[in-house]
Amino acid sequence: MLDRLSDRLNNVIRSVSGKSRITEQNIAEAVEEIKSALLEADVNLKVVRRFVSRTVREASGESVLRSVSPGQQFVKVVYDKLVEFLGDERQDLVLRGPDVPSVILFAGLQGSGKTTSAAKLALRLKKEGRRPLLVAADLVRPAAVDQLQQLGERTGIPVAAIPGSTDPRAVVTAGLARAKKEQFNVVIIDTAGRMQVDEDLMEEIRQVAALAKPDERILVADAMTGQNAVEVARAFHESVDLTGVILSKFDSDTRGGAALSIKTIAGTPIKFIGTGEGVEDLEPFYPERIASRILGMGDVVSLVEKAQETIDADDAEQLQKKIRSATFTLQDYLEQFQRVRKMGSVQSILEMIPGMKGNVDPDQLDLDQMKREEAIILSMTLEERHNHRIIGMSRRKRIAAGSGSSVFEVGQLIKRFDKMRTMMKKVSKNKKYQSQLMAQMGRR
């Protein structure tokens, strides 16, 4: 979402960071470019003015101008200001202990992704060991209750609903009673939305909040609506005292101004971001990590966390043993393909690796070859994947026909795999081969 802003800021950073000496004029020119980039990214005008004035004040200080590396100091100032305006630090949910039900109230306009986000958060809390219950109190939008029930079935999370009811308070009362009786320790209430903010909507949410006494009041705002999302957040915050925001559709091709404006203008932190349409596509919002990505510094911590989510520690240990003993098979190779895909797009992974953003074009990576290799392996029997040495000419012809490739391509895959397996074994025993392996992977 922040690609355009990132590109503009990176150009400014590159022009300044390499200088052995910078002047107030250099800073003024750089800050003017930053101002233009922020406005283009649809950042609120008040936020832009504050960002620029604070950056100029700190960058013009003697600690920067007389620093041994003034360019790098300037980058640090910009980074610190981005973190500050994004929200300073990670704001987690404030929930009660596991023996006492915590209530989370969801609010938002229609089309913001409110109902889906409620299910996403419920699934996340379930994985953390909580016992969530979803309450279908959106009785305005047609099929909202059905949608939540379907999401509940997909995620294995119970949904409290009263068929045919027109009173959201009755639904909430029944949901809270069920949570207490069946010992659910998190209750997530999906309230009604409207096409736009109006007093009827706010009054209904106030009544539900007074009844449920929620520990968290979360607004789901659509990142694609830009400054409108900021204004919506401010209106809801003034009415129901929000404790946080989930910014949905963060993976969309929008300018990103909402992320930089919400905390300052609406006065409430972003707690999570929606990064896709899947029920697992909800991530905590870390201001320092987002700022690091914007400035092209990568986000290694998030990359490691994504890897940990897709690769079990025991599996990783077993894989390491196979590599050391050269028993790594094509089946293992296939599983690594699939795990990397679960981590996200190649673009998103490259952005998390320091120095990669802007220096490696995802379009230049041979993703088609990876897909062809996957198709070839999938056309093999399980026996062939575990022992590729039995794949003679007749088997190669069958595999080629099944995968839509040629016998030559099947042979090339086996040859590359053999070479890679040998090199991986050497790397596991001797670090001097590490650069060779990286070069080999780069050619792939």
Domain co-membership, 334 together with 282: no
Q: Is residue 96 one of the residues assigned to a domain?
A: no
Terminal Cα-to-Cα distance of the chain (whole angstroms): 28
**What are phi and psi for residue 213, nearest 5 degrees?**
50, 60
Same domain membership, residue 121 and residue 238: yes
Q: Do 225 and 344 sit in the same domain of this protein?
A: no
> Could you tell me how many helices (H) and strands (E) the chain has, helices first?
21, 8
132 and 23, same structural domain? no
Are 180 and 281 members of one domain? yes
Choice between 262 and 337, residue whose per-residue pLDDT is larger: 262
253, 114: one domain: yes
Q: Which domain holds residue 182?
A: 102-290
In a domain, 401, yes or no: yes
Name the domain boundary from 37, 57, 86. 86
- The band of 255, judged by pLDDT with boundaries at 50, 70 and 90, is low
**Which ranges of 328-433 does DSSP label H, i.e. alpha helix?**
330-342, 346-352, 367-378, 382-386, 393-403, 407-429
In a domain, 82, yes or no: yes
Which of these three, 290, 323, 358, is where a domain ends? 290
Q: How far is CA 66 from CA 18, 58, 62, in A?
A: 15, 13, 5
Mean pLDDT on 186-200: 87
* Residues 390 and 336 sit within 8 Å (Cβ to Cβ): no
Contacts of 76 (CB under 8 A, 6+ apart): none
300 in a domain, yes or no? no
How many domains is the chain built from?
3
H or E element at residue 133: strand 132-137
Whether residues 311 and 358 share a domain: the answer is yes
CATH number at residue 411: 1.10.260.30
The pTM score is 0.68
Same domain? 204 vs 319: no
Provide the annotated binding site for GTP.
Answer: 108-115, 190-194, 248-251
| Sequence letter at residue 376 | I
Q: Are residues 317 and 382 in the same domain?
A: yes
On whether residue 380 sits in a domain, the answer given is yes
126 is a domain residue: yes
pLDDT one-digit tens code per residue, 405-420: 999 999 999 998 888 8
Instruction: Report the CATH number at residue 80.
Output: 1.20.120.140
- Look at residue 433 in the predicted model and tell me its pLDDT: 42
Asked, for residue 348, whether it belongs to a domain, the answer is: yes
Q: How many residues does the chain have?
A: 444
Tell me, what CATH number does 220's domain have? 3.40.50.300
If one compares 435 and 182, the residue with the highest pLDDT of the two is 182
Is residue 271 domain-shared with residue 238, that is, in the same domain? yes
List pLDDT tens digits, range 54-73: 888 887 765 655 655 666 77
pLDDT tens digits, 145-171 = 999 999 999 999 999 999 989 999 999
Average pLDDT across the chain, whole number: 81
**Backbone phi, psi, residue 380, to 5°:** -85, 155
296 found inside a domain: no
Give the pLDDT of residue 246.
93
d(CA 119, CA 121): 5
User: What average pLDDT score do residues 307-327 get?
Assistant: 64
Residues 336 and 275 in one domain: no
Mark residue 254 as left, alpha or beta (left: phi above 0; alpha: psi -120 to 50; beta: remaining). Answer: beta
Same domain membership, residue 278 and residue 146: yes
Binding residues: 108-115, 190-194, 248-251
Which of 41, 62, 86 is the last residue in one of the domains?
86
- Across 307-311, 330-334, 399-403, 423-427, which has the greatest mean pLDDT? 399-403
What is the predicted pLDDT for the residue at 290? 84
Give the Cβ contact number of residue 130 at 10 Å: 15
Position 288, amino acid: E
